[in-house]
Each structure stands twice: as structure tokens, then as C-alpha cells.
Structure 1
């Protein structure tokens, strides 16, 4: 990480980064949802405990009512007293119509509870008998919920539960909830900090690489960790883009050098011819020849610039015509028919082996121009002194879901190290550069093929060279 990236993500600036903001936002959302969920669980648990107590009271009241309908007073009193003597939060009272207590563990109830049936909350005091070494009665106080009613035999019954235990349990639940919320907040902040730190480190690596590239080191690449995550996918894409940019920059440098060489020579000849024609003692015939030469040189320069413009349009994806359903078989046949007389004049046998009915979405003019360039290149480099018949074969076939166009000759071929270089702009195998041409024909072929999502390469034809264009059928 460079000093620039370190300063950029220092503690003073880290809170202003989008990564940290998003992380804190997600932490806040998570904590809010977690707190709400824990609060709901705590509240629902407290309510369930309260309901359980109410159901327990109602169940015991129902049992005592059933017993009072089937048994006598002594049996009901004995049953209530057994319930009252059990340790626990139970509150019990059984009295006669005058309010005299017959059984239970709490004797002092407000008159309203004994006279009117219903559910009440009250503070109470009760005594429990203690057996063993210290016999006696233990008195306890608390708060309870009670249900009062009058039995069918006229007795007054009060059954309840102490709520202190329930409230203590509720306090434990909410205390645990509070600590849990704090733990969630702390762990979320820690996890968010680690996540933000990881993301910022990866972004800082990209920024560091970008800074080095902007300073002129085009060979720098974004580091790939090998985890195959989205950052590695982005780094791989960026590195592929940087590879392409580096190739284009190297190609631009080479193109600039070649343009300076290939255009300076004809421009110099133009100037010299024009200067010679303007001399006072120049012969009119020489002036006419000089003008014709000037026109020829100008035409060559225009063709060079037209080729450059066409290559630029093809590489930019803006061909001169829109793509349409094109009969590629007809295009190949037309080019072969057009160049058969040219090849015959040069003593070359040109044949066409095109599969009929092959169609694809393409720009007919560009595909035709690319095929013309390949055929002209083959005719140009088939030497006159070649032993045996000089042949060029144009073929078209559909195979394995792809469309193949091949232009093969039996000439000297192309050395393997140069088979990729020949598709570069101004690339020429003839190093003296005395032959006509600017070295743009195969560059145009490559640009047109890439525009159509295809590939092009040269193979050894044993003997000779074979250009192979492969287009996707769909």
C-alpha cells in the first residue's frame, strides 16, 4: 500500500468512506432487528408465564369445585389445606359464609375479595408451618394475583399465585436481553470493522496499482488473492483491461513509428517530384510524368488513410453498415469470381470450395473486404519462380457450430514467429519495405473479424500459408 492510500484511509478519514458508512448502516439495521426480536421474546415469555399461572389457578379452582359437588365440607377443607401446606407460590383460602377461615395459608383478605367473585391483585402475608429442629410458623409477605368465588355449598374460596417469582424471572429475562443486546452491538461493530478493513485494503491495493500506472508503470497489475471472490473477479477484469491497454499503447507506438516511416518517404518523393517539375528548364514531358507520379503517390496515401479509417471504425464497433442476415456463401463466391481473372493473369489457379446456404448476422461489405485482402495478399506473395502450379483455394464450411472461411496457398508461407505479428498495423515481413503497400490489409482483416466476434490466424499449409477465419454461427 502506498503512502497515498495509507493517508487516504487513516483513522481521521476512514469514517467518511462509503464502505464504513454502509457497514455502520447494516450494523444499525441488524442491531435494531436483533433488539426488537429479543424484546419480543422477553415480553412474550413474561406473558406466557402469566398465562400459565392463570391457567394453573383456574385448573385448581375447577378441581375444588368438582370436589365440593361430590364430597362433604371436611373433604373440601382437607384438600384445600393440603394444597396450602405445599411449598411454593400458591395462595389458598377456604371460609364459611360468615367469613370464618376453615383452611388455607392466608387469612387476611379484604372484604371485597370475599364478597364479590373475580380476579384481584393484592399484597398479602401468609404463614407456613416449619417442621424439624425449629418447629413453628414462618411468615412471608408478597404480591399475588387471586381468583375468588363462592362454591355451590356456600363456602368462600380464594386461590392465587405469588407474582414475585414471575417478576424475578422477568427481570432475569430483561437483564439477559440487555446484556445480549450489548453483546450483539459489540460483536456487530467488531465484525463490521473487520469487514470494512478488508474491503478498504482491497480498494487501497487497486488505488495503489492505479497510481503506479498513472505514474507511467504500465506493467503494474492489481493483485489477485486467489480466493475467487468478487474482488478477484474485478481484479482479473481490470488486469485484462490493463493488458489490452498496454498492448494498445505498444501498438500505438509501433504504428506511430511505422506511419512516420511509411508516410514520410512518399511525401518526400512528392515534394521532390513537384520541385523538379517547377524548375525553369524542366521538360513538359517530365512535368507531365511528375504530375502523374504525384497523383499515384497521392492515391496511395489516400488508400492508406482510408484503410486506417476503416480499421478504426471496425475496432470501435461502428461499421459503415448495420449487421444483417447475410449469405456468406454468396460473399465468398463473389470474391472468388472477381479475383479468378486477376489470379489467371498472374499465372495462379484460384478455386472456390464454398458450402452453399451458409448465413449469419454480418456486415456484408466488411466481410467481403476482409476476404478480398486475404486473397490479394495470397496473390501478392506467390512468387513467379515457384516450382509447379501456383494455387489459391478459398473454402467455406460450417463445423461444430462455427463458420470457417479459409484462404490457402502453396507459396513460401509465413514463419511461425511472425504469424501473429502480421495482423498488426504497418507490419510487413519484407523488412526493406520496398514493395508497394502499407501493411494495413491484414490489420483490417483482424479488426473486421473481432467486430464479428470471431478469430483469425495463420496455419502452415505444407507448403504455403492458410488463413483461417472462424465466426460464431449464431
Structure 2
């Protein structure tokens, strides 16, 4: 890549040099042509004696050798002025380039030739030695600058390339470790913050999500094995008792009802797991519409008011304004998330306690928070309770399967919302906020 860019840069530099040389040559020729025209106009109308006298005076001044004036007869023989050979291919009354072969060293000139009425020809010329020397120095300077730039550019490209290769090698080694199963490894990032760093950052975020999902899968398998063992054991025991102890249809029905309750609980757990998987799949994003978060929260509060009254918990809805809180989402999923939070608040709040659902909105987003005066969640358990089947010590003996907050977390991620669990002075506050 460095060599390719070097070639492109070299071609661009060559084109620039040719353009500058062409422009410079045109400028110098224009200035020479203006001088030739001006001098020819001042001398061509003079009588022959005046022309000879003027040319003789110029010949005595050695400084005029670079700009010679000459007078030739009809046969091209020099009459007066600086001794130059008559041009081999003369062009009259227009600037042209010619070479002088009369001297030992061949000189090049740009001149203008005018034929007088008496047949003589006046030649006004300017030596091209300075122009050629200027162009030669310009070419040498450009060549030196080009070579210096090429060497420095190539050295810089090699240095940058080696740095990039080292970084790619480090990334390849990290990727190899990840492929071997070390999900804690991450692609190295530098301080420059370039394109490779941005790519590494995105890949590292992807690896964080993969590690989280892998931990969840492992945790779910372990928790399913642990949590399903108890209800399956009770189910087995109930069936064993029905087989050994039932002496009447009523006793048999009682044992069967116990078994059916256990089976319903197991099915409910698996239904919750499937529901979480469905939400995390993200396919429901296509059904997102504009919804009013306040209206959904009010519906959820009205739905759970009878259950709250039965448990002796005061359930209320609050908002600082009546303006709608519009967000983009799935109304049934948002309702389900709020319903799970309210259900937990009622379940873990003792009698004569209270729970309140607050919805606030501003120009940047909306927030729904469910606060209660229940047993609360410890700060160290705030992240753990979002894992499937996890149950804090205070709620271990309460009914449920430990999947409610996991479902709420999945719905929040699907909607791009932030889930926050805080512990006020009494109880718990769970907040869903749009990002």
C-alpha cells in the first residue's frame, strides 16, 4: 500500500512539475516576445545610416551581448551589429527560436526578423542561456525535492506500516485466544483513536455481549437443573404417594391435583423462559409504534389495583404533568414489563405498605419508575437479580421462579431503555428510562 501511494504521489508530483514548467516557459517566452516586439518597433523605421550607427554603439557595450542586434543585407551577410549567423529558417515579423553556428559554441536565441524596404534585414534577439540555466536549476531542485520527499514518505510509510502490522498481529493473537475459549480476551486498542481502534471497540462490545450471552446460557442451564429438581421431586413424591397410599377416589384426586399444580408451575417457568427468548430475539422491533407510556402505566395500575387491595398494599399512579409520554415500542411488551414490576412490588411489600408508579417525560425521553416499601434489594444484588432464576435471600421463600426481572431486562434492551435498580431508605425503586 505504501508503494502504491508512493507511485500515485510520484505521478501527481510529475504532473505538477510539468505544469509548472509549462507555465514558467510560457511566461518567459511572453516576456521575451514583448521585449522583442518593443525593440523592433523602435528601430525598424529608422534610416539605414541611423540603424548602422545605433548597432555600432550597442556593439561597443559588452553588456548587450545577451541581447544582440544585427543588420544583414539581401544575401544574409552581416552589415553591422553583433556578429551572428543569419538564421537558417528565418521567420519575419514574428518571434522564433534559432541557433547561432558562427561561434565556437553553439548558442540558442529567441529573436524577431524584419525585412526593410531596401532589402536589408534587421534581427533583434535575446539569448536563451539564462532561461535554459533557470529551467535546469528548477529541474534539479524539483528532482532533489522529489527524491527527498519520496525517501521521507517511504520511511514514514514503512514506519506506519510496521506499526499497523504489529497492531494487526496483536489483534490476531487476541482473536486466536478468544477462539480457543478465553472469552475474557479483548482486542487491544491504542490511544490514537483511528479506524482500527473504532473497529476494535465495536468488536470488543460484540465480545462483551457474546460473553454475557454465554454466561446467561450457562447460568440458565445450571439454574434450570437446580430449580427444576425441587418441583420434579415433589411431583415424583406426589405420584408415589398416589400409587402407594390412595385408598379412595377422593385421595387419589387430591394427589393428582398436587401433581397437576407442580406441572403447571413447571410449564409456567418454561413459558417464561420462552417468552424471554422471544423478546431477546428482537424480531418484534418490526411491530414498534408510537405509544403513550403514561396511558400504559395507568392501565397496568388499574389492572393490579384489586390484587393490591387484597394484599393490603396501597397502589397509586403519579405524574408531574398530563402531557403524554410518547415513545416508540411494542405496547404489549411495555405493559408486560410494567406489570412485572408492579407484581413484584405487591408481592414483596408487606401489608399496610405502599407502591407507586411514576411516569415522567421531557423533550429528551421518558421514564417509568415503580417504587415500593417492601423488603428491598441490596446494592450488591442489583445486577444479580437480572439473571434468570436468581433470587435474593430475602425473597427466596416467596412464590415465583426468579424470571420476572429477567423478562423486564430483556424488554428494556429490546426498546433501547436503561434499567436501573436503586434502594431508597425503605423498599426498592426500579426505573426504566429511554436512552
TM-score (structure 1 length as normaliser): 0.79
Given that 2:97 and 2:108 are in contact with CA atoms closer than 8 Å, whether structure 1 keeps it comes out as no
Given that 2:419 and 2:430 are in contact with CA atoms closer than 8 Å, whether structure 1 keeps it comes out as yes
Distance 1:240 1:398 in 2: 30
Residue 395 of structure 1 aligns to a residue whose secondary structure is strand
Give the structure 2 partner of residue 419 of structure 1.
382
Deviation at 1:34, TM superposition (A): 0.9
Map 1:429-440 onto structure 2 (within 5 A): 429-430=392-393, 433-440=396-403
Among 84, 94, 103, the alignment partner of 2:80 is: 103
User: Are residues 1:86 and 2:62 paired?
Assistant: yes
Deviation at 1:428, TM superposition (A): 0.4
Between the two proteins, the alignment pairs up a number of residues equal to 430
Unaligned runs of 5+ in 1: 1-19, 127-138
RMSD: 3.2
Among 223, 226, 241, the alignment partner of 2:191 is: 226
Give the structure 1 partner of residue 347 of structure 2.
380
Given that 1:409 and 1:461 are in contact with CA atoms closer than 8 Å, whether structure 2 keeps it comes out as no
User: Are residues 1:123 and 2:100 paired?
Assistant: yes
Distance 2:84 2:350 in 1: 129
Distance 1:112 1:470 in 2: 91
Given that 2:170 and 2:188 are in contact with CA atoms closer than 8 Å, whether structure 1 keeps it comes out as yes
TM-score (structure 2 length as normaliser): 0.86
Give the structure 1 partner of residue 52 of structure 2.
77
Give the structure 2 partner of residue 39 of structure 1.
18
Distance 1:411 1:112 in 2: 112
Q: Which moved more, 1:445-454 or 1:226-235?
A: 226-235
Distance 1:332 1:111 in 2: 104
Distance 2:122 2:30 in 1: 21
Given that 2:369 and 2:432 are in contact with CA atoms closer than 8 Å, whether structure 1 keeps it comes out as yes
Give the structure 2 partner of residue 458 of structure 1.
421
Deviation at 1:442, TM superposition (A): 0.9
Distance 2:431 2:138 in 1: 77
Distance 2:112 2:165 in 1: 65
List per-residue Cα deviations over 1:104-126 (Å, max 9, x = no partner).
Answer: 12165379859x77657343325
Distance 1:237 1:108 in 2: 79
Map 1:212-223 onto structure 2 (within 5 A): 212-223=177-188
Residue 212 of structure 2 aligns to a residue whose secondary structure is helix
Unaligned runs of 5+ in 2: none
Deviation at 1:33, TM superposition (A): 1.0
Deviation at 1:302, TM superposition (A): 1.7
Deviation at 1:314, TM superposition (A): 2.0
Deviation at 1:99, TM superposition (A): 6.8
Could you say if the C-alpha distance between residues 157 and 304 of structure 1 is closer, same or farther in structure 2, counting changes exceeding 3 Å? same
Residue 351 of structure 1 aligns to a residue whose secondary structure is strand
Among 145, 155, 158, the alignment partner of 1:190 is: 155
Distance 1:216 1:323 in 2: 37
User: Are residues 1:405 and 2:372 paired?
Assistant: no
Distance 2:209 2:97 in 1: 84
